[in-house]
Amino acid sequence: MLIFFVTVLIGAVYGQVPNPCVNDDGSINPDGHYEVSCKTYVICTNGNPNRIECDADEAYNQDLTPRGCDSLFNVPHPCGYIQDCTGVPDGNYPLMEPLEDNVAPCQMFYTCLNEEYLQMQQCPGDLVWDITRDICNHAYDVFPPCGTKGN
């Protein structure tokens, strides 16, 4: 009966997501932190899960010690803002798919230098990144895909 109750409880807590603390064959994973999604992870202790939800401006960062939620600015893409600049020429590039609901495409841009990611920045107000001028600018004065000029 206890096993049934625990199974039902885990199913209720995790929905269709299996318990990452227990393998399909019933063996228990080592204690630790296991990613469920970009915004969720589980701390496993003796096969028992403790689900953690990251705040809106955070994502799971497997590079932390111990692993856990971290600022989007410190987490690699696709869950965070850190971009892969391998083979990318030096310059500033718009973030076409922001991770936050209140930020429009192209309002944030990142810098690559010597094939290394340097930083992510956000244009002030409603401005968007102007690839041609390499500045933040009004959308009506920026060509697509970041602006509406010429439409």
Residue 96 in any domain: the answer is yes
Residue 16 in any domain: the answer is yes
Whether 62 and 101 share a structural domain:
no
Work out how many domains the chain is built from and give that number: 2
Whether 121 and 67 share a structural domain:
no
**Mean pLDDT, residues 130-139:** 96
**What is the tens place of the pLDDT at every residue in 72-95?**
888 988 888 889 999 999 999 999
Whether 97 and 136 share a structural domain:
yes
Q: What is the CA radius of gyration of the chain?
A: 21
- Domain with 95 in it: 91-141
Q: Which residues contact 74 (CB under 8 A, 6 or more apart)?
A: 61, 80, 82
